[in-house]
Amino acid sequence: MELIQKNQSLKNLNSWLVGGEAEYFCQPTSVEELKECVAWAQQKNLAITILGGGSNVLVADQGVRGLTICLKSFSGLEEVSANEFVALSGTSKSEVLKVFLKNKLPPALFLAGIPGQVGGGVVMNAGVAESFVPREFCEIVSWVEVLKPDLSLKKYANADIDWSYRHSEGWQPGIITRVGLSWKNGILEGAILNKVKDANRNRLSKQPLDMPSCGSVFRNPKGHKAAQLVDSCGLKGFTIGGAQVSTKHANFIVNTGNATALELWDLIVRVQKTVLEQKQVQLQTEVVRIGAWT
């Protein structure tokens, strides 16, 4: 089929800049094209992997078997009113930020810090630690539309979804296609652009945003901060090959240049082991591994 390519490198499609090739690859631009791609994979009995902005995935060096559906071009944003929007799931959060900003709506503050796409934001219930209101995706999503495996589209209201810390459940299986976004609890007074700039400056001072990473690697365990646990084990700067625990933020693992996915994963496992031994806390990854790891 015309939409499908073979052996597409995924290295530049994830924020760690690692990983191998997709066996089959497509970039649909509409729900119709997405359906065609899914039907094609189903006919061939191929596994389907969804790649959003690639800012929270670790792509295997051996690549991804089956069909990888990249949502980079699956983008579009409609302003229903000054505080209600509908986004295709591949729309970048920065595009969404712009409309919230234009309408002086407070979600602009937390959106400014999070890369990736709207769909990935829903899957991960992306959010920030700062005490902004709102500060997580679950607070700005009105509904989520999903392409189900039988190729029907099903709409879930916010309340149908079970939202938790960096996770959402209840809409699966399927591919998120469209998301209704809204904020009806007032506007931000004052110079909102300055507030967003301050929030960005604050992040820049604390996070290694000049190096390839996937943001926070580990979830914060109940009652703990993952970064503090890693730091207190003396792991800042610990390196395996091209993978390094950031010297700036201990919950970030950066690619110092030529890291492989395996080196990043080995470092993740080493950090987990050390924190378990020294602090008796099991760290869980926030980052999702995709592709052929065995």
Q: Which residues are catalytic?
A: 166, 216, 286
Among positions 10, 18, 67, 123, the unique one binding ligand FAD when judged by CB under 6 A: 123
With b for 16 or more beta-carbon neighbours within 10 A and e for fewer, the 124-157 pattern comes to bbbbbeeebebbbbbbbbbbbbbbeeeeeeeebe
Gap between the terminal Cα atoms of the chain: 29
Among positions 19, 20, 28, 54, the unique one binding ligand FAD when judged by CB under 6 A: 54
Tokens representing 5 are: 């390519």
> Per CB under 6 A, does 52 bind ligand FAD?
yes
Among positions 3, 4, 11, 15, the unique one binding ligand FAD when judged by CB under 6 A: 15
Within 91-120, the residues that bind ligand FAD by CB under 6 A are 113-117, 119-120
**Calpha distance 195→32 (Å, rounded):** 40
Tokens representing 115 are: 């890369």
Within 61-80, the residues that bind ligand FAD by CB under 6 A are 71
Name the residue nearer to ligand FAD (CB basis): 67 or 126: 126
Within 218-247, the residues that bind ligand FAD by CB under 6 A are none
Please state the closest distance from residue 166 (CB atom) to ligand FAD, in A.
6
Contact criterion met (CB below 8 Å) for 157 and 124: no
Cα Rg for the chain, rounded, in angstroms?
19
Name the residue nearer to ligand FAD (CB basis): 60 or 124: 124
Residue 7's φ and ψ, nearest 5 degrees, are 50, 60
116: left (phi over 0), alpha (psi -120 to 50) or beta: left
> Per CB under 6 A, does 89 bind ligand FAD?
yes
Name the residue nearer to ligand FAD (CB basis): 54 or 180: 54
Name the residue nearer to ligand FAD (CB basis): 122 or 233: 122
Instruction: Give Cβ neighbours of residue 138 (< 8 Å, ≥ 6 apart).
Output: 125, 158, 161, 163, 168
> Per CB under 6 A, does 180 bind ligand FAD?
no
Per the listing, tokens 């604390």 go with: 206
Q: Where would I find the beta strands (DSSP E) of the chain?
A: 5-9, 21-26, 48-51, 57-59, 64-70, 77-81, 84-88, 141-147, 153-157, 162-164, 167-169, 175-182, 239-240, 243-245, 253-255, 288-290
Please state the closest distance from residue 278 (CB atom) to ligand FAD, in A.
26
Please state the closest distance from residue 70 (CB atom) to ligand FAD, in A.
9
Name the residue nearer to ligand FAD (CB basis): 179 or 271: 179
Tokens representing 22 are: 């997709």
**What amino acid occupies position 232?**
S
Within 152-171, the residues that bind ligand FAD by CB under 6 A are 166
Among positions 19, 20, 53, 106, the unique one binding ligand FAD when judged by CB under 6 A: 53
**Calpha distance 173→38 (Å, rounded):** 13
Q: Using CB under 6 A, which of the segments 79-87, 208-216, 237-245, 262-270 binds ligand FAD?
A: 208-216
Among positions 108, 109, 176, 240, the unique one binding ligand FAD when judged by CB under 6 A: 176
> Per CB under 6 A, does 264 bind ligand FAD?
no
> Per CB under 6 A, does 59 bind ligand FAD?
no
What residues line the site for ligand FAD (CB under 6 A)? 15, 50-57, 71, 89, 113-117, 119-121, 123-124, 126-128, 166, 175-176, 209, 213-215, 288
